[in-house]
Amino acid sequence: MKIGIIGAGTIGTTLAKHLTRACYEVLISNSRGGETLKEKVKEIGGNISAGSLQEAAEAAVVFLAVRWEHAQEALSAISLDGAILIDMTNASLPEFIGAEPGSKTSSEVVSEWAKGAKVVKAFNTLYAHVLAENPKVDGGNRVIFYSGNDKEAKDVVSGIITSIGFSGIDLGTLHEGGKLQRFPGGPLPTLNLIHTK
């Protein structure tokens, strides 16, 4: 499976390392173009290349790993029709943190921006340095929460979570699960949980 990453900062790079270790084919991108990522690709190693935002968007699964304030601009520049988009963003804004009952979560807003994509919220509740650590800890696996409105898309994301060494917990829809994942404001962010069997 080919996976695209939009955003080559700390979070995007961290995910790229986990994915390439699990033998996924990864294409990482940023707003400045693939040529600016040569050193990063060399540093990460494995089956990874760099390209444009649209080249990353053409993968079957795409991670959105940009700051919230750049998300709409990044999504408006690409076509994601039919792709699974994993939303890793966090909107630290009053309208999302202290949202009124019934109001949209940030990932529901991302779904409106990402026309044609199946959005799954995941990988947003752990601090970057924790996410970068080995997901296999003390005989268990670090937990990643995820939510989404499309069951098949969630199944694919769950498989990726498992294959890179984490343990996924399905929180339901973007509306209900997204509230629990809200960072800051939700009850689950920063919880570094280990699932043992």
Distance CA 52, CA 133 (A): 28
Confirm if 159 and 88 have CB atoms less than 8 A apart. Answer: no
Verdict on whether the full-model pTM lies above 0.85: yes
The pLDDT value recorded for residue 92 is 79
Q: What CATH number belongs to 2-195?
A: 3.40.50.720
The pLDDT value recorded for residue 185 is 82
Distance CA 62, CA 49 (A): 14
The pLDDT value recorded for residue 189 is 92
pLDDT means over runs of 10, the chain (197 residues): 96 97 97 94 96 96 96 95 96 71 86 96 96 95 98 98 98 94 89 93
* Structure tokens given for 108: 């529901």
Nearest-5° angle of CA 81, CA 83, CA 89?
Answer: 110
